[in-house]
Amino acid sequence: MIELKHLNFSYEKNKPILKDVSLNLGEPGEDVVGIIGPNGSGKSTLFLNLVGMLKPTSGKIVVDGQPLKYHKKALNQLRQKIGIVFQNSDQQIFYSIVKDDIAFALHNLGLPEDEIKNRVDRVLEELDIVSLKNKPIQYLSGGQKKRIAIAGILVLRSEWLLLDEPTAGLDPDGTKRMISLIKQLIGRGQKIIISSHDMDFMYEVCDHFYILRDGQIVKSGRKQDVFLDDQLLESSKLTQPWLVRLHDKLHLPLYNTAAELFADQHLAAEIANLKKDKE
Ligand SMILES: Nc1ncnc2c1ncn2[C@@H]1O[C@H](COP(=O)(O)OP(=O)(O)OP(=O)(O)O)[C@@H](O)[C@H]1O
């Protein structure tokens, strides 16, 4: 469990960026937590506080009952518990060849060579990027680089995975692949925290949400708690996901995923009847 208690953070004096943020991550049934908020609301700053790269100006972070400590050894231990994938993949790519880059953090931990090789091979398979193993990273696409950055964190097998804007710069197919990757990770028990303002993506993959506006949590809850309040979303410069709009404006059931909507036989039959009546 990760607890944030009255956390405040400023980069510069008298310019608070995070304001009295309190939240609990890792409650039962909340395996994928979404932090949603517009540009500049403080999502990345929150993530950097969570992994100890920034230190709260006041308040504290408690991980599994222990307040976060900031000396080197404690931070190294934290990195094995909470892994972060940055918005910009280039920020965490250190080697020129894919397999070397993915192994980077494992070498730092001093793991035996055969263990490193096994973990790298396994993650390459899991992410469906075996064909990229010996490729130079500079020739990869943005979406492929993102997968390499994720692979370099997944090999650490950390309990928590923080994904900062994982769909930024991805085309629709890349976003679809990211959704299935996240679902695959959830399926094997990975706890994930995602930050984004891509509402359709977040609606599809997360099961608990926090809305961050101007550095403050203005709402939290499950899908139906946060997305039905159109006014709150608008004032937070966010839009309703399209599945919620269908529910809100056309009074269709609130589907969790597009797949659920298209599999609804009852709805399909009703639409077919409407069509028949019209003809
Ligand atoms: N190193 C820094 N020094 C000073 N101010 C910063 C620094 N990094 C971010 N900020 C400011 O902190 C605020 C929050 O930025 P942050 O990147 O956390 O927001 P965000 O919600 O992740 O935005 P985005 O969706 O655009 O990635 C912004 O006003 C930003 O200008």
Task: Tell me which residue has its CA closest to atom 24 in ligand 1.
Answer: 39
Mean pLDDT of 250-277: 88
Percent of the chain with pLDDT over 90: 70
Are 83 and 153 spatial neighbours (Cβ–Cβ below 8 Å)? yes
Q: Find the 42 Cα to ligand 1 centroid distance in Å.
A: 6
Q: How does the average pLDDT of the chain come out, rounded?
A: 92
pLDDT of residue 238: 94
Mean pLDDT of 112-133: 94
- Kindly report, residue by residue over 154-181, the tens digit of the pLDDT: 999 999 999 999 998 888 888 888 898 9
- pTM for this entry: 0.91
Strand 82-85 versus strand 66-67 pairing type: unpaired
pLDDT of residue 188: 87
Q: Find the 160 Cα to ligand 1 centroid distance in Å.
A: 23
Q: Which of 60-64, 105-109, 219-223 has the lowest mean pLDDT?
A: 105-109
Q: Find the 21 Cα to ligand 1 centroid distance in Å.
A: 16
- Kindly report, residue by residue over 70-104, the tens digit of the pLDDT: 999 999 889 889 999 998 888 888 888 999 999 99
pLDDT of residue 80: 86
pLDDT of residue 49: 97
Q: Find the 8 Cα to ligand 1 centroid distance in Å.
A: 14
Mean pLDDT of 250-273: 89
Q: Give the Cα separation of 112 and 140 in Å (integer).
A: 29
Is residue 116 predicted with pLDDT exceeding 90? yes
pLDDT of residue 192: 96
Task: Tell me which residue has its CA closest to atom 10 in ligand 1.
Answer: 11
Token code pair at residue 48: 């950097």
Task: Tell me which residue has its CA closest to atom 28 in ligand 1.
Answer: 40
Atom nearest to 195 CA in ligand 1: 22
| Domains of the chain by start residue, with CATH | 2-237 (3.40.50.300), 241-279 (no CATH)
Q: Per-residue DSSP letters for 187-256?
A: HTT-EEEEEES-HHHHHHH-SEEEEEETTEEEEEESHHHHHS-HHHHHHTT----HHHHHHHHH-----S
Percent of the chain with pLDDT over 70: 100
